[in-house]
Amino acid sequence: MNPSPHIEVRRLTKRYPSGGSSITVLNEVDLSINRGDSVAIVGPSGSGKSTLLALIAGLERPTSGEVYLDGRRITDLSEDELAILRRRSIGFVFQSFQLLSNLTARENVLLPLELAGCTHRESRVDALLSEVGLQERGHHYPSQLSGGEQQRVAVARAFATSPPILLADEPTGNLDSATGSLILEMMRHLRVEIGSTLVLVTHDPEVAKITDRVVRLQDGRVTSDAAGGTQV
């Protein structure tokens, strides 16, 4: 029996009102991602990459079409159900880190564990901070950390609950290339360890190389879908 895809997008369309008319950001996109796969979504600015990511995460509702996670249609779920789905199943890494400025690095990593009601939280945080090389900086606030360090905290936070799905939006966009590579390596390592499915949005071919598959979007449509590494 063929297992159902981990993430499946069917005829997904998103339009935004603009003045009297509307702008179509995604136009009947179909996409299927299997469990444990890593996929890079690439394309020029405005091609709908981040919107696709937001729709997969249930952060936004499509104009039409459906999103299935683990065979479950999420487009009809309530805000509360979506929130619970995110806390249990999805980890995020953002371009601008999105750490909570009034929490220490340690507390930022702890938060998703607390929300999900996990046990052995403290030891998990220790392990993750050590994994990203920040075991000594746990008590620092984001403003006291460099950009790279902040993104390492964000990576630790994203993997804290060992989420089956990891969504990353330009994770190296605000970092120099050396730091970016380090972050990508950490993400790759943790993903393999946990076995998460990765969906990564980027416009950087080097970043896309770490994935098994590259999907190219242009004007809201999928223009190519190929094995990763070289095809961008």
Name the residues that contact another protein, by CB under 8 A. 50, 53-54, 57, 59-60, 79-80, 83-88, 90, 92, 94, 98-103, 107, 111-112, 114-117, 157, 169
Two structure tokens written together for 197:
């499915």
- The nearest distance, CB 21 to another protein, in angstroms, is 20
Indicate the residue among 100 and 226 with the shorter CB distance to another protein. Answer: 100
- The nearest distance, CB 201 to another protein, in angstroms, is 10
Amino acid at 161: T
Indicate the residue among 111 and 228 with the shorter CB distance to another protein. Answer: 111
Structural contact between residues 54 and 4, judged by C-beta atoms closer than 8 angstroms = no
Indicate the residue among 40 and 55 with the shorter CB distance to another protein. Answer: 55
Amino acid at 167: L
Structural contact between residues 201 and 166, judged by C-beta atoms closer than 8 angstroms = no
Indicate the residue among 2 and 45 with the shorter CB distance to another protein. Answer: 45
- The nearest distance, CB 88 to another protein, in angstroms, is 7
Indicate the residue among 2 and 76 with the shorter CB distance to another protein. Answer: 76
What angle in degrees, to the nearest 10, is found between the helix axes of 105-115 and 147-159? 20
Return all residues near 157 (Cβ < 8 A) that are at least 6 apart. 91, 99, 108, 109, 111, 112
Indicate the residue among 60 and 185 with the shorter CB distance to another protein. Answer: 60
- What is each CA distance from 204 to 33, 48, 49, 78, 210, in whole angstroms? 21, 16, 13, 35, 11
Span between the terminal Cα atoms of the chain, in Å: 32
Instruction: Please tell me whether residue 142 adopts helix, strand or coil conformation.
Output: helix
Two structure tokens written together for 231:
């095809």
CA atoms within 13 A on the CB side of 222: 18
Q: In the β-sheet with 7-18, what is the strand arrangement from edge to edge?
A: 21-33, 7-18, 64-69, 72-73
